[in-house]
A = this chain, B = another copy of it.
Amino acid sequence: MKQKIHNFNSGPAILSEEVFQEASRAVLNFNNSGLSILEIGHRTPAFIDVLQEARQLVKELMNLNDEYEVLFLHGGASTQFFQIPMNLLDRFETAAYTDTGVFAAKAIKEAKLFGNINVVCSSADKNYNYLPKDFIVPDDAKYLHITSNNTIYGTQWKVFPDANIPIVADMSSDILSREIDYNKFDLIYAGAQKNLGCAGVTIVVVKKNILGKVERDIPTMMDYRMHIKENSLLNTAPVFAIYVAYLNLKWLKNTGGVEQKEILNRKKSELIYAEIDRNKMFTGTTEIEDRSMMNACFVAKDEKTEKSFLEYCKEKNIYGIKGHRLAGGFRASMYNALPLESVEYLVRVMQDFESLS
């Protein structure tokens, strides 16, 4: 018997029950082929169909125009931190980076190995709990790098900075969670394990015309052009992770697409932030105007309360509520697949905890 758990984990994160059911069945018998999804060739027609449909769903859900290619790659977003400058930035060129969190800072560190990095803004002074507003993006930088949502500290760009240069965005934690104009970006990347699927695959959406403009030799596996040429089958693809992403994208489309998910995500985040602000035991840690719809971060009024709320959540089958080790406190991650009921439940648990104290 599976007990009901409310999963607020920051990633890998909850997916819909029907995705779990279908993925589980495919491990035994994929598409009624008599074979497991784990033992079929990545170049078989059945899997090429999955890959092609997944690619098409990404294009459709993001409303991408024909200038874009959708790639399913290995290595996680952390590999993109160096793969992007390796492909886009020559040794003596400059790229503009925004320093708005731990992962943004990691992207900066890796990019420095490949060219000059101009950090155009930073919120490190206040433990990344806000997003910088007044800064200039230079017109002569090769590209601007931005992290659309800060998973660890819970900030999210509501309006993206103005830039006359290509924009590269790490959207690992909020891709397809809200309606934005994805065509404004020249490269978008996201580890799958939050809003897209399970861990083990990374989606890269790239405008073809920004590629092929650096002089360095790029290893084959790191060259986006090679992956485009081979339709994400340059080597053995992470078959199962792509299949789960495909199931999840299909689920997303069939349950109203990004439009409906944004409505739901807004409702969930309003509910939790209202409770954080009301409840005497807790305080939100993020600048109100920059609060993320995906990750709500808060702390308890003291250490004892923190410990005891963690214990209480455990008793109540609330999973993954502990804050990141760098941020402390609590974090409720509320990606697309987290039902409204789980947030309503957490709010009641927070209220009960307050009244018991």
Q: Which residues of A contact B (CB under 8 A)?
A: 2-5, 7, 9-15, 20-21, 23-25, 27-29, 33-36, 38-42, 74-79, 81-82, 86, 106, 109-110, 113, 191, 193, 198-201, 217, 219-222, 234-241, 244, 317, 319-320
Contacts and interface: CB of A to CB of B under 8 A. Distances in A.
A117 to B, nearest CB: 14
Given A4-B34, A5-B34, A78-B220, 4 more contacts: A9-B39, A38-B199, A74-B200, A82-B219
B110 A198 contact: no
Contacts of A237: 199
Contacts of A240: 198-200, 240-241
Number of copies: 2
A354 B320 CA distance: 61
Contacts of A77: 235
A73 to B, nearest CB: 9
A106 B221 CA distance: 11
Contacts of A199: 38, 42, 236-240
Contacts of A5: 33-35
Given A4-B34, A199-B240, A39 B12 contact: yes
Contacts of A33: 5
5 contacts: A5-B34, A12-B40, A24-B27, A74-B75, A78-B234
Contacts of A9: 39-41
B13 A236 contact: no
Contacts of A110: 219-221
A239 B28 contact: no
Nearest to A24: B27
A96 B236 CA distance: 26
B24 A39 contact: no
A340 to B, nearest CB: 18
A97 B42 CA distance: 28
A29 to B, nearest CB: 5
- Residue of A29, A39, A81, A234 with highest tally of chain B CB at under 10 A: A39
Contacts of A34: 2-5, 317
- Residue of A12, A13, A35 with highest tally of chain B CB at under 10 A: A12
Given A23-B27, A27-B24, A239-B200, A221 B38 contact: no
Nearest to A78: B235
Contacts of A41: 9-12, 320
Contacts of A113: 217, 219
Nearest to A114: B219
Contact of A75 (B35, B75, B82): B75
Minimum-distance CB pairs A-B, first 5: A200-B238, A82-B219, A78-B235, A24-B27, A38-B198
B236 A193 contact: yes
A36 B15 contact: yes
A12 B239 contact: yes
A17 to B, nearest CB: 9
A258 B14 CA distance: 38
